[in-house]
Structure 1
């Protein structure tokens, strides 16, 4: 019967609630009068019945207006109980007023007794049904998994409420705030983090959920480091800004963010630098659909440009980005015209036509092939896109009268050991040469390392490998990398672009480098698993070493030489680089163009080594087309 009742329609449930509440109000009034008179035999006249009718109709009307019949009992919150309380208080007031006007035989103390009885009869069954549903849900979901919530603040409280309807059961709260320790939080005692090993053993908990709100990344990293040896899975609740904006809900538990592992707090942006080249200007982003390009667009939109030109080769990436940016503009006090355009940076005439047509003033050039092994297998196209795409876009910018041109470069351009890095360093040389040739367009190059969450990041790969049980693949036990979040990188690129004076190579402070194998181990430990190895043969996840990929370095560098100076921004430095005059640069470009046209990959690599790029390698050429052509030619000679 209960099952049929719970599965009935909303209309049926509301009618049942209305009928019950009418009966409960009648019974409450009867009990209140009986208690006041000390007798079950009470006089009932038309006046008393009139008062009862007024009370029932007014109370039900108030309950409907307050939304009590829209509340779903299984998800009833303290706010719903408040509605019952205030609605019952209103009902008692109506009873007192109604009895006065009808001059019925109801003593003045009855409304106060009625209030208490009605609260029990109206609120009690709702709490009982809520409890029954939660018990039935618990049986349906099976045995609840005990979890520990780290953080006894607002986020922790909301997380506990959200988890009540799931198969997670909060068994303990821990908090490092001494003022909270020992207090009772949602009927659960708040304990010190030092008690975690005992709590885990007592309840058999295998998961710790972080409810840290707006705690800085540096503090988060300390907390996570303390949880690593405990052998439990560590996950986190969404941050408060994400909850407020609607991007996430409190029950959206996710794995620990890698920025929490790094423990570096973002530096507050300089508002003047952020807006200098953007606000009320026409801005163009090439490679707008990529990881960096799309985040640049998000940051640019917030600075209220007059017009934003999105230039992208991939149709779907462009469509998705345009939709996202238009959604961001909804509700803003300013209006920005968004212009999505398909095209390649290698089409110089189209790029120039676009810049002239829309009167572009600032260009952020993020279009590039950045995946090291792929560029090694596609040498000619990698050089064409990274070197000539940059040159053609820069020449178009000069002729179109663009004020500022910012190249998004890479740490792999420093003493490169691969074609990708060498091509990016060559692109820097091109812009340095153009800066000497003219001064109308200001060229700036910004270098930084790996960004978290990009298409080539190791973090999502490690998570997927851990999820399927391993092994986790690392190229080399000693390989290290610099890491930065995409929003942080994009924000610093915009600020660096505003600081350039022409031909500058600006370098972003990436913090301390991270050993990739240590990162893999931390991610395994925070998943509640152990690393399988010689010391622990029965571990859960094995780490295997696959060897360095073609053109890959153990250590990435961000600077050439020691001639480095600071800037007005703590996280941005200026590197004084060796560069060529424009005639010297143009001569190399012409030679490189002929080699690309002839598909002479060996000559392309030789020219990149002869140019002052610092490029050195001892690896064999890996271009797939060139290798196939060479092997075919050798076979013909043999025949």
Structure 2
């Protein structure tokens, strides 16, 4: 039996997807468009009837398990997508896909290959702002762009959006061959289906911790722009592997910056995090030091632009709350959260990446930028919403359990220090921070002090991988970390005394 497809939205995006399906013939047959436009309802587009309105007509469709709905309204706000999704599920549609509201689609291109299964990201949170990528990426036209950590959540989405930038080459740099292979294949598939512009895509497997190799890669690729996304970033995991966090994040960034300065890379954009603000984890300290390294490197450039962009949590990144909650729901729960009072700032990955790409073009050398994350979201509310999205009832079908803070976690993650005083730029959702820099000699001395711990040094064998010494050094150079570790130590002592 042939699958019947109903396309929600009879506009340009829906029509081009219908053309794609008709041309390929293997995905089923478009049975109808469903739309709210009174001018279109009752007409036919290329022989396909337009039914509507959406809220009324879906209940009379005789759909089967084979039937599929594709929501093709890329400009629709999140609230409208949520309404359509609830209408479809209430009326028996179990196979629902969506054409994401990314800038490439808003700019007028739409392809079946861009559709995917709908997920909580599409119906939760606020409506992302629309940015014209083709306009904001003009600075990359004809350039060679290197993305570190290209197989990660942020790096891979940057790579997808960069297909519309007109870059001559995209270098996908990472040390995980599986993730780099996956995004490389995906980008090639998107190109073969007509998404984006022509660009040579080059996968590069390597490790930034090797200074000589990093220098070699930047020299050989002759890249003009670097988006530095690569980092070890799972807080509890890095609290168990403190030396690796500093080795990879700090020294890897230093190697990349030195090579970028030496080989005249035009633009360097570091992706930073709210956990770098008054850090209470080794990961947070590592990212704070990366920010300082970028600001220090900016003073040594010659006509280049080095900057960082900081933002909070992104919904859906690997290891983040969303996939964790979804996995817990699949296994019957409970969904675990730290505290009822815990809040986080959230933004979707595509929106964050669009803003990062825009900042990379308009940002100035030695400047610090912060993405406007909107209002904070209570984690317990997010957990309950995701349970309901899964068709279940919180506390009835799936329990929500409070488990307490893990090491390196806090109830609220500030996005900036008071002294940084973020101010709006003329670009929506992009704020500029006052720089808080480290003296170059101080920064160099700190890195020299930690180096024998992270890298084997003859006559310093006792220091190699000595995490206690590393923590002491970091605590002496970061008051917030020192205070946090002291608090943990006191709590542990209190528990011991009670026993």
Q: TM-score, normalised by structure 1?
A: 0.61
Paired position in structure 1 for 2:177? 315
**Are positions 1:555 and 2:417 aligned together?**
no
**Are positions 1:435 and 2:295 aligned together?**
no
Contact 1:308 1:338 in 2 (8 A): yes
Q: Name the CA distance, whole Å, in 2 between partners of 1:189 and 1:401.
A: 57
Paired position in structure 2 for 1:592? 450
**How far apart are residue 414 of structure 1 and its match?**
1.0
Counterpart secondary structure, 1:363 = strand
Given candidates 195, 217, 220, the residue that maps to 2:77 is: 217
Contact 1:505 1:577 in 2 (8 A): yes
Q: Name the CA distance, whole Å, in 2 between partners of 1:256 and 1:263.
A: 15
Contact 1:506 1:573 in 2 (8 A): yes
Q: How does 1:58-97 map to 2 (within 5 A)?
A: 75=2
Paired position in structure 1 for 2:112? 246
**Are positions 1:292 and 2:154 aligned together?**
yes
**How far apart are residue 308 of structure 1 and its match?**
2.3
Paired position in structure 1 for 2:378? 515
Q: Name the CA distance, whole Å, in 1 between partners of 2:289 and 2:145.
A: 25
Structure 1 residues 175 and 317: alpha-carbon distance in aligned structure 2, compared to 1, 3 A threshold:
closer
**How far apart are residue 601 of structure 1 and its match?**
2.1
Q: TM-score, normalised by structure 2?
A: 0.77
**How far apart are residue 578 of structure 1 and its match?**
1.4
Paired position in structure 1 for 2:216? 353
Counterpart secondary structure, 1:353 = helix
Paired position in structure 1 for 2:145? 283
Paired position in structure 2 for 1:536? none
**How far apart are residue 327 of structure 1 and its match?**
2.9
Paired position in structure 2 for 1:566? 424
Q: Deviations over 1:495-532 (max 9, x none)?
A: 11222222211111122222111111112223332222
Q: Name the CA distance, whole Å, in 1 between partners of 2:368 and 2:283.
A: 18
Paired position in structure 2 for 1:545? 402
Structure 1 residues 621 and 354: alpha-carbon distance in aligned structure 2, compared to 1, 3 A threshold:
farther
Q: Deviations over 1:373-418 (max 9, x none)?
A: 1110000010011111101110111111111111111111111111
Contact 1:564 1:575 in 2 (8 A): yes
Structure 1 residues 570 and 234: alpha-carbon distance in aligned structure 2, compared to 1, 3 A threshold:
farther
Given candidates 314, 336, 343, the residue that maps to 1:480 is: 343
Given candidates 469, 476, 480, the residue that maps to 1:610 is: 476
Q: Deviations over 1:217-236 (max 9, x none)?
A: 33326637988xx9999984
Q: Name the CA distance, whole Å, in 1 between partners of 2:4 and 2:453.
A: 72
Q: Deviations over 1:333-353 (max 9, x none)?
A: 964333322211111111112
Structure 1 residues 415 and 269: alpha-carbon distance in aligned structure 2, compared to 1, 3 A threshold:
farther
**How far apart are residue 246 of structure 1 and its match?**
2.3
Paired position in structure 1 for 2:29? none
Q: Deviations over 1:419-467 (max 9, x none)?
A: 1011100111112122224444321101112222221122222223223
Structure 1 residues 222 and 321: alpha-carbon distance in aligned structure 2, compared to 1, 3 A threshold:
closer
Structure 1 residues 394 and 471: alpha-carbon distance in aligned structure 2, compared to 1, 3 A threshold:
same
Contact 1:152 1:190 in 2 (8 A): no
Contact 1:234 1:528 in 2 (8 A): no
Structure 1 residues 554 and 174: alpha-carbon distance in aligned structure 2, compared to 1, 3 A threshold:
farther
Counterpart secondary structure, 2:166 = coil
Structure 1 residues 620 and 355: alpha-carbon distance in aligned structure 2, compared to 1, 3 A threshold:
same
Structure 1 residues 621 and 263: alpha-carbon distance in aligned structure 2, compared to 1, 3 A threshold:
closer
Structure 1 residues 192 and 595: alpha-carbon distance in aligned structure 2, compared to 1, 3 A threshold:
closer
**How far apart are residue 590 of structure 1 and its match?**
1.3
Q: Name the CA distance, whole Å, in 2 between partners of 1:211 and 1:471.
A: 32
Q: Deviations over 1:589-626 (max 9, x none)?
A: 1122244451332332233233368534534899xxxx
Q: Name the CA distance, whole Å, in 2 between partners of 1:150 and 1:356.
A: 48
Q: Name the CA distance, whole Å, in 2 between partners of 1:421 and 1:408.
A: 13
Q: Name the CA distance, whole Å, in 1 between partners of 2:169 and 2:325.
A: 39
Paired position in structure 1 for 2:437? 579
Contact 2:36 2:52 in 1 (8 A): no
Given candidates 345, 352, 356, the residue that maps to 1:493 is: 356
Q: Name the CA distance, whole Å, in 2 between partners of 1:188 and 1:563.
A: 52
Cα root mean square deviation, aligned = 4.2
Contact 1:447 1:507 in 2 (8 A): yes
Structure 1 residues 325 and 232: alpha-carbon distance in aligned structure 2, compared to 1, 3 A threshold:
closer
Q: How does 1:177-192 map to 2 (within 5 A)?
A: none
Paired position in structure 2 for 1:137? none
Q: Deviations over 1:77-97 (max 9, x none)?
A: 99xxxxxxxxxxxxxxxxxxx
Counterpart secondary structure, 2:319 = coil
Paired position in structure 1 for 2:391? 528
Of 517-526 and 607-616, deviating more is 607-616
**How far apart are residue 471 of structure 1 and its match?**
1.4
Bigger Cα Rg: 1
Unaligned runs of 5+ residues in structure 1 are 1-73, 79-148, 159-172, 204-208, 533-538, 623-639
Q: Name the CA distance, whole Å, in 2 between partners of 1:180 and 1:401.
A: 55
Q: Flag as ranges the 4+ runs of structure 1 deviating above 6 A.
A: 149-155, 173-181, 186-193, 224-227, 230-235, 240-243
Structure 1 residues 468 and 436: alpha-carbon distance in aligned structure 2, compared to 1, 3 A threshold:
same
Q: Deviations over 1:565-587 (max 9, x none)?
A: 22221111111131122112111
